[in-house]
Structure 1
């Protein structure tokens, strides 16, 4: 996913993923209100949105510094 430990690079990637997540949200809501929408396409968009949510959570976790025990 991301090879760099650079916080700036992680933040840029995080912003890109959040933007894609929002775009998918709009696409999903638009597709779901259409009569006769494609269920398979809707499921794929929702699955991708969940993958993005997981990736965002991992990157947010990577930005939090480890605390010594």
Structure 2
């Protein structure tokens, strides 16, 4: 059972890191757009990375939420 607890803790830590990175990317994108002089390609790359992170966050959350038997 100890390994399962460690695996869950690892998932929770990874989830926390991803949420933080997602928030930081959001802030970076907002700052670039607010500046007015931004590279559209750079903004698109950051948005794509943000979407990949969002997908990974969703996957981790589904692993952490136990299946409910109806």
TM-score range, shorter chain: 0.7 to 0.9
Greater Rg, structure 1 or structure 2?
2
Give the CA deviation at 1:36.
2.3
**Superposed counterparts of 1:2-17, under 5 Å:** 6-17=7-18
TM-score normalised by the chain length of structure 1 = 0.86
Q: Which runs of 5+ in 1 are unaligned?
A: none
1:63 lines up with 2:64 in the alignment: yes
Q: Which runs of 5+ in 2 are unaligned?
A: none
Alpha-carbon distance in 1 for matches of 2:47, 2:14: 20
Question: Which structure shows the bigger proportion of residues in helix conformation?
Answer: 2
CA RMSD of aligned residues (A): 1.7
Alpha-carbon distance in 2 for matches of 1:60, 1:32: 30
Task: Give the structure 1 partner of residue 53 of structure 2.
Answer: 52
Misfit runs of 4+, over 2 Å: 66-69
TM-score normalised by the chain length of structure 2 = 0.85
